Structure 1
Amino acid sequence: MKKIITIFIIVCISSSFTTSKRVDAIIKKEILSVFNIEAFSKESLTISSEVNNILPIKLNDTNFFKIFHNNVVVGYYYFGNAYGKADFFDFIVIFNKELIVSKVKVVAYREDHGGEVGSKRWLRQFEGTSSDKNLEYQHDIAGISGATVSVKSMMNEVNKLLKTVTILNNKEQL
């Protein structure tokens, strides 16, 4: 019995590392593609606790990064999650240096229904959105039959992120 439990724990731990590497590979691919570069470096943002306390999304050293190419800031990216009908899904939002959304991608969707929220065609409607915009369901963001909960959740999380980025920019924390 102890062997089975030990094997189960090892499998769980090793699969969690694989997922992280897979997600990192997806993020890297998207950043290289968006900025049309061959290499980049990233740096987590250092935000004062005073500012972080007023942000709609609490940022830390694992979810919001500056993107550098040749030691010059070319953009930013956020790694977050939203809640679908029964489980969380992970996504990234890439901003250019003018804080315009360049790309949104769902990197892990864990439910059987509503996965259409990860389609490239649907996600393209976020592109070009400035950080001072507030997206509205059925006006700026189209619904998806069978994925209403995921659509609204994704839109709400992106709206909170846009407000967060606007506050950071206004407080000169970027």
Structure 2
Amino acid sequence: MVKRFFIVVFIIIGFSFTNNELEEKFNKAIKTTYEVENFTVEEIKTTSAINETLPAKTGNKNLFQIFSEGKLIGYAYLGQAPSKKKEFDYVVMFDNELIIKKSKVLIYRENYGQQIGTQRWLRQFIGMSPSSEVKYGENVAAISGATISASSMARAVNKVLKTMKILQEKEVI
């Protein structure tokens, strides 16, 4: 009976830590990308009808407007994508024109495939817009030893770009 209690407590504490870690990394990514110290984020919510049409779903604290000194400075999509056995957390950050400023792997949970977290590889997404199409192995380089994670990140960014295009067309953003 005592062992079960400790296991439940460990799971609850572990889950809470992961969320705090993710939030800290998300906030740090915003600070460095937009070069701001003080900012606020506001979640962008869509109707369920619109959300059903989106390749990258919203409404679960993953699409945000970013403000500094009361002025809109950009947008961020916080998501998860599958790696070989687990999922990793990533963020795609946009300027006001919906051009990717930066993409970043925030938390990677595998022993292999960590190369997708390097800025050298992630830099390929910078400058892409909602009209861009990500094609793994064509306009985004493949990574030997990280094929699953790299192709997954490329698909995720492509879905985010398509989502931003739909939201832009529906005048949500």
TM-score by length of structure 1 reads 0.95
Deviations 1:58-92 (A, max 9, x none): 21141111111112211111111111122211111
Deviations 1:102-161 (A, max 9, x none): 111111111122111111211111111112100112221111111111111110111011
1:3 and 2:2 correspond:
yes
Partner residue in 1 for 2:55:
56
Partner residue in 2 for 1:83:
82
Partner residue in 2 for 1:17:
16
The amino acid of 2:160's aligned partner reads L
Partner residue in 1 for 2:112:
113
Deviations 1:20-47 (A, max 9, x none): 1111111111101111111111111121
The amino acid of 1:85's aligned partner reads K
Range that drifts further, 39-48 or 155-164: 39-48
8 Å contact from structure 1 (residues 117, 150) kept in 2: yes
| Aligned positions of 1:1-174 closer than 5 A | 2-174=1-173
The amino acid of 1:159's aligned partner reads N
Please list every run of at least 4 consecutive aligned residues from structure 1 whose deviation after the TM superposition is greater than 2 angstroms.
none
The amino acid of 1:22's aligned partner reads E
For 1:53, what is the secondary structure of its paired residue? helix
User: What is the CA-CA distance between 1:166 and the residue it aligns to?
Assistant: 0.5
Give the number of equivalent residue pairs.
173
8 Å contact from structure 1 (residues 79, 92) kept in 2: yes
The amino acid of 1:65's aligned partner reads F
